[in-house]
Amino acid sequence: MFNFEPDNFMVGEYEDDQEIFRNKPNSIKEEGGRNWVYPKKPTGKFTNAREIVAFFLLAFFFTAPFIKINGHPLLQLNILERKFIIFGTAFWPSDFHLLAIGGLTLLLTVVIFTAVFGRIWCGWACPQTIFMEMVFRKIEYWIEGDRSAQIRLDKQDWDREKILKKGGKHIIFFTLSFVVANLFLSYIIGVEELGKIITDPPSHHWVGLTAITIFSFVFYSVFARFREQVCHFACPYGRYQSVMVNEDSVCVSYDFKRGENRANQKERVKAEKTASAKVSANTEVSVLDLAQGGSVPESKPFGDCIDCGECVRVCPMGIDIRNGIQLECVHCTACIDACDAVMEKIGKPKQLIKYASYNNIKKGINEIFTTRVKAYSVVLTVLASLFVYMLTTRADVESIVTRVPGVLFARIDDQTSSNLFNYKLVNKTFEKKHIELKILSPSAADLRNFGEFPNVNPQDISEGRFMVILPNSNLEAGKAELVLGLFVDGKQVEEIKTRFTGPK
Ligand code: SF4
Ligand code: SF4
């Protein structure tokens, strides 16, 4: 994380404790306990925009497992059976290279977005933030009220009101976590399998039911207890911010040049009185001094920040954005809305807290596409092109042919030898396919399969063994190249090269 320069950033009485925020997270007490964060309900144009985005993302999350493309799931990530269906297309472990390139492309996209726009993902699209701020937090506001009401409720005795409110909230939280856990599982095993777990006798699906129970408790703990701690301590993306963000990244930032010297109304009035007292005293002095070159002492002028603390009160991470970019900040924009409302009330221009880079605030430079971002973009373009090429040329049926381990060759007679091969035929499509292997060259080679080549079921693998017999006259130094053709429903789709070994 880059350092802000204190001379522009923390001034006057704030200099003494300017580094305190770096030493420990705000949500942890000095003695180690939890400093519970009670964020004030945010309102404003950024909050409205985020609510609209969240609505569409939640709609996608809740409906995607039920959406089918040609009868197949839109999205299914079956990590247990290592089958992935993305936009109706099935991917297998043998497509690992494709998934790896796709994953790298996605990762680099996130890195570029982070380098340019900071943690825009965290604030606008991360499921943790969306569920926490747009679902669970809203339920909490609805039941317990805004920040001050929540603080009051937590302090009061366990009377009827507190039991009802707290009990009701936690029952709703757990029910919602249970629903989210079910949906989460449906992304892994599919809605049909989930339906079976729900409708069949529990003894048939104890593994699935255990998974749902564990997921429910994990989600409930995250949204009811851990909350911002997940972003602070558990999220690997959050931990990597310091290497991805720099002085040119556009982040939610406090305009310290405009905001400092911060002071509340009382301090301003007091300073004004002191200044006028000094001016009148100096005026008297200056009469004596002016002839000797004396001057009226000047104090640093106040900035636009009235130190009202509204930006801190709305922050769900419990931090003060005026301390600069911090690892804890998820760019939720709540402080922008809060400060804009304050600026509007005191008749000052909005955007004292805004989306801006450090260099933009400090030097007025607005360079988004830095050399680093340009370099990332070139790599991203190459990766994305490679990914698209591999995706469009990907075979629906795949075969793996390997020699049987431990067997070099067998002599059929003095002129002929044989080799044994294992084969694996993968049908990645959703239709049954007849898949077979035939010899393309040398023409003298004879392929003897042990049984028929199979009709491979949709999304299935068929394995077997075949023998190739070849006259020794085709061998050169005991070796010959074998070219096999992979035929799907009678049509050749691929050539496979392997080696035949015989006597020298
Ligand atoms: S809301 Fe604005 S004016 Fe109030 S403390 Fe924060 S930055 Fe200063
Ligand atoms: S500092 Fe502002 S943008 Fe960052 S988490 Fe807090 S309220 Fe959200």
Residue 322 has pLDDT above 50, yes or no: yes
Question: Where on the phi/psi map is residue 130: left (φ > 0), alpha (ψ -120 to 50), or beta?
Answer: alpha
Query: Hey, whose CA ends up nearest to atom 3 of ligand 1?
Result: 305
The predicted structure's pLDDT at residue 21: 62
The predicted structure's pLDDT at residue 2: 41
The predicted structure's pLDDT at residue 23: 67
Classify residue 11 as exposed, middle or buried by CB count within 10 Å of its CB (0-12, 13-18, 19+).
Answer: middle
SS3 annotation, 332-384: CCHHHHHHHHHHHHCCCCCCCEEEECHHHHHHCCCCCCCHHHHHHHHHHHHHH
Give the homologous superfamily in CATH for domain 397-501: Immunoglobulins (2.60.40.10)
Q: Encode pLDDT of 189-233 as tens digits.
A: 989 889 999 888 888 889 989 999 999 999 999 999 999 999 988
The predicted structure's pLDDT at residue 167: 97
Q: Encode pLDDT of 87-121 as tens digits.
A: 777 787 777 788 888 888 888 888 888 888 888 89
- State residue 68 phi and psi, 5-degree precision: -120, 145
Mean pLDDT in the chain?
85
| C-alpha to C-alpha distance for 57 and 130, rounded to whole angstroms | 8
For residue 221, the number of C-alpha atoms closer than 13 Å in the C-beta half-sphere is 8
| C-alpha to C-alpha distance for 436 and 488, rounded to whole angstroms | 7
Residue 10 has pLDDT above 60, yes or no: no
Residue 469's DSSP bridge partners are 418, 446
Nearest alpha-carbon partner for 187 in 58, 65, 59: 65
Q: Is 134 helix (H, G, I), strand (E, B) or coil?
A: helix
Per DSSP (E only), the strands in 169-279 are 251-254
Q: What mean pLDDT is predicted for residues 463-474? A: 90
Q: What mean pLDDT is predicted for residues 300-319? A: 92
Ligand 2 atom closest to the Cα of residue 321 is 1
Nearest alpha-carbon partner for 502 in 436, 420, 382: 420
The predicted structure's pLDDT at residue 298: 54
| C-alpha to C-alpha distance for 91 and 396, rounded to whole angstroms | 9
The predicted structure's pLDDT at residue 279: 66
Distance in Å, CA 332 to ligand 2 centroid: 5
Ligand 1 atom closest to the Cα of residue 338 is 1
Distance in Å, CA 334 to ligand 1 centroid: 12
The predicted structure's pLDDT at residue 398: 83
Distance in Å, CA 259 to ligand 1 centroid: 8
**Contact call for residues 470 and 488 (beta carbons, < 8 A):** no
Classify residue 330 as exposed, middle or buried by CB count within 10 Å of its CB (0-12, 13-18, 19+).
Answer: buried
- State residue 215 phi and psi, 5-degree precision: -55, -45
Is the pLDDT higher at 350 or at 450? 350
The predicted structure's pLDDT at residue 327: 84
pTM for the model stands at 0.78
The predicted structure's pLDDT at residue 223: 96
pLDDT band at 464 (very low <50, low <70, confident <90, very high): confident
Name the least confident of 207-211, 217-221, 395-399, 479-483.
395-399
Residue 9 has pLDDT above 60, yes or no: no
| Count of other CB atoms within 10 angstroms of residue 315 | 24
317 lines ligand 2 (CB under 6 A): yes
User: Can you read off the two tokens belonging to residue 303?
Assistant: 């900035």
pLDDT band at 432 (very low <50, low <70, confident <90, very high): confident
pLDDT band at 396 (very low <50, low <70, confident <90, very high): confident
- Give the start-to-end residue ranges of the domains of the chain: 44-117+124-242, 397-501
Query: Hey, whose CA ends up nearest to atom 2 of ligand 1?
Result: 339
The predicted structure's pLDDT at residue 321: 94
Query: Hey, whose CA ends up nearest to atom 8 of ligand 1?
Result: 305
Query: Hey, whose CA ends up nearest to atom 2 of ligand 2?
Result: 335
Mutate to test the pocket of ligand 1, among 307, 321, 323 (most ligand atoms within 8 A of CB): 307
| C-alpha to C-alpha distance for 70 and 68, rounded to whole angstroms | 6
| C-alpha to C-alpha distance for 365 and 371, rounded to whole angstroms | 15
Q: Encode pLDDT of 227-270 as tens digits.
A: 999 998 888 888 777 788 888 889 999 999 999 889 888 888 88
Q: Encode pLDDT of 145-159 as tens digits.
A: 999 999 999 999 999
